[in-house]
Structure 1
Amino acid sequence: MEIIKAIILGVVQGLTEFLPISSSGHLVIGSEILNFHELGIAFEVFLHLGTLLAVLIAFYKDILLMLRALFVSPETRRSDPQLRRAFMWDIYIVIATIPAVIVGLFLKDSIDAIFDNILITYGMLAVTGTIMLLTRRIKDRDVQINAPRSVVIGCAQAIAILPGLSRSGSTIFTGMLLGVQRETAARFSFIMSIPAILGAGVLKLSDLIAVPPAREQVVALGIGTIASIVSGYLAILCLMRFVRRGQLHWFGYYCYVVSALGFLHYFMS
């Protein structure tokens, strides 16, 4: 039974980490519904590892180019537009990650307390739904990502630490508001999730070392991780298709429904 629960939560994590419907919100709700808290920190860390691998697989060409841009000579970068752009994205990803690092380091205890309030999760899901519906109102432009825009998108990512507020939805929406072409905003959002996911895992690593998983939990951890990799990769492909078609608003309706059902269940139980 625990393996089935691990698969379900692994799929939920993989799908919701990248679809603009909030992974943290769904994991909070899913854990409550399934009464599945036994694996705790270990399961959370391994699920994040799974989604990290999913984004690395989906964007391996971009990531390899960005890594290569770090190690070539300045003359080579200047003569190659692709390498020059990749190098600038290296810088912008670092800049965009700084707000989340600050929030994660200095507000960790406050954030952990917020995760215990299910009503905040339901409320933030409604906020996610609203910003997804608003994407229909934003005209697609082709403004380039730069340092100031990276900071703003990074702040959106930091705020999305709140449970129920989608990281991908918030950052893509913010990029579009700033005039960045929607597919570019989505690609930047996915790649900037790499240090964010790594950072979330590192923050939990000390807790994992202090309370390592029991031997009988290892199988469930492994299967849940594999489920998050597969579902995460499929979610990325799915979202990119919705982004290209300008159909992000459909995720907004979904978030409204989940939020409404959550509030209904809470006040009637």
Structure 2
Amino acid sequence: MSEADRLARRFEENRPRLRAVAQRMLGSGAEAEDAVQDTWLRLSRADIAGIDNLPGWLTTTVGRVCLDRLRTCTARPEQPWDTAGPAPDPTNGDPVDPEREAELTESVGRALLVILDTLAPTERFVFVLHDMFAISFEEIAAVVDRTPAAVRQIASRARRRVHQDGTVRETDPARQRRVVEAFLAASREGRFDDLVSLLDPHVVMRADPVAAGLGSPAETHGSAAIAGFFNGRAQAALPAYVDGLPGAVVNLGGAVQLVLCFIVTDRIIGIEVAADPALLATLDLSVGERR
């Protein structure tokens, strides 16, 4: 198999994820498919040797494509929301996965798309990539030319606007909180299989340098590895909200020493571990409260 064929195969493996990102960003199946194809063109012209994480590169690139479209198309033509995604093209070799299509249909609800359409392009970009696809603030910051701290604030602002409408089931804080509480309980009680079941297979955990110095891995991928890390831990973790997302805090001497922030869709897709005092001071923490 040639290098071009291998690259095409890897792109097709990521196509459902890219389509989901574009669908959430643009709200139209046809426009989403165009954005995915544009992403393929950019990949075909890129220096592949310089790409360490292809799925992450593709996700941020399709997000950038969509962000550019949202910024330049000041008057997009009216068209109905396509909640099921674009119809599969029987000639493109992309087989229909009924389970995947049903999952996409459920996760891209009409209510969520309508709410997202009220966000400014940058807010929408940050919210979709971080809260729905667990892309780090550092990666997003490089795309929007902001600092990670500024991107975090943008995400928090967008999250508050989205959560104002309780009909948006996919981002309901109470439902997300239940998933996190179940995860913390399984962690404390050493229930490895339950931890794995609550984590997306492709979950990513990232820790800031201070947290890494305290024993957290800087970056960990996969449900089994992350479940293994948490198995038997979280004994001192208290449920909390962190910038509007469900999370947990660990107190020492009456002060917050460590913060865990969970990104939840149907399962946990991302975990951020923070211990840098400068960062902790900027977080909006609500310990033991429900919003």
For the superposition of Structure 1 and Structure 2, which TM-score range results when normalised by the shorter chain? under 0.3
Larger helix proportion of the pair: 1
TM-score, scaled to structure 1: 0.23
Query: Larger relative contact order (C-alpha < 8 A, sep ≥ 6)?
Result: 1
TM-score, scaled to structure 2: 0.22
